[in-house]
Structure 1
Amino acid sequence: MENKLTELDLKKLNSNKGLLALLSKEPLSTERAIRFVDYEKRLIKLQTEIIRLQKWAIEKNERIIILFQGRDAAGKGGAIRRATERINPRHMRIVALQKPTLDEQTQWYFQRYVEQFPKAGEMVFFDRSWYNRAVVEPVNGFCTQKQYEVFMNQVNNFERMILESGIHLVKIYMSISKKEQAKRFEDIKSDPLKQWKMTAVDERAQELWDDYTEYKKAMFAKTNTEASPWKIIRANRKTEARSNVIKHILASIPYDKNTEI
């Protein structure tokens, strides 16, 4: 049984967002609906602040890279959408690269990512990044052991050069449980509007869970450096994860919080 509702709780539930949250998912849960209304309120404040961050970056010609990694269905895309939906699209890009072309396969591995780097005053969000070679590629046999080793030997120096060039780099890893991943895959498969998200790689993710875990641990051990640390966001609860993503972005970049918007 849910806790007794306060006057403030009833006010939240009687709002448009509260009623929508209450009726949009079964079974009905006042606790979940109130939590969603609180989340929406927090989100507006955080999105207002990320607008301020972007305005500062534009005015100061700053360059910002925010990269997202994580298991399939961990909520990377949803977190990026919430972080970017209010900011100026002319000074922001979301990069989600397809598998490399034949020409790109002959290039230096990092080259096609470098080509997507921000210009002055721009924020670039990578929905997966060069870290595919640290986990996804070796687990699924998309690279050789030698290619993996070369990547792991080069990546910290690569990021040091990024930072020394004056680019702000924020690395976020979205973390979910095996049970939650399985649940999300079932939701995707049963929703005609989401079925396109399932890939052959996704289909094997549960089977290869332990392999992903081992490579993920190796990635953190090697690349979670003082200069370029990872932030692990617990993402089983999507709303909480999205708020925490934006909080971390704001905390990671020393922008002027007095910038007018």
Structure 2
Amino acid sequence: MLGAIEANLFGVWAQLARFPRVDYRDEAEAIRFIGGIPFPLCNSVMRAELSTAGIDGAIEQILLPFRERNLPMLWWIGPSTKPSDLEDRLAGHGLEYLNEAVGMAADLSVLPPDAERAMPVLIREVVDEDSLGDWLAVFRIVFDVPGFVVDFFAAAMRHLGFGSDLPYRHFVGLAGGVPVAVSSVFFGAETAGSYNVATLADFRARGIGTAMSRAAMNEARAKGCRWSVLHATPMGVPVYRKLGYRECCRLKIYSNIYKLDR
């Protein structure tokens, strides 16, 4: 399951890498997603598997395209990362610990019966420009991202297209016809990953976020997936435990943003 949790994360970024503006390099030593905009989430190193021989030179080569463009970036450290002490070595190359995500998984074959209860919002899939606009409006506010980041994801999502047959799908929760929550699901080879679960501040504590998560789980089960996975913030873990998710691993995130700010 550890590998499947990481693979889903890698898979969703590989899907976004179909957007022509992305410089995506899936090589033996690491995956590099270079969105080319000055926002760390859009520039990442993943699945690093380095030999200890010449490791410092290898790290420098991986970081080179980010440094050449002066891009803020993230380096993900997960269960598959090699060598095991790689995070200690990153400090010598200008990267510092930023935060971590908790890899969690839920067995959909034992989904609790109350997962099918009435939802507190009307959930609709993003299928056109209007529903994409609703999704982006909530995404921008909740995650507090700059307009150029919203524009990047909007263009990528338009390029990938919409439809129930696609691997990366997005949903909007409507309360009284107003978009108040969002979520996304990525269907990988083994798992369905839940992403971008967010609710506007004025509509929290009403079970809406839980409803958006349950809707994603139900969609995954309808598609025949046994496992739903996600990458939660430490604060979100108790919420997802109530939905049947269990902690499986931790993914630490290192970044150069502190160096760029100095």
TM-score, normalising length from structure 2?
0.25
In terms of fraction of residues, the more strand-rich structure is: 2
In terms of fraction of residues, the more helix-rich structure is: 1
Which of the pair has more CA radius of gyration?
A: 1
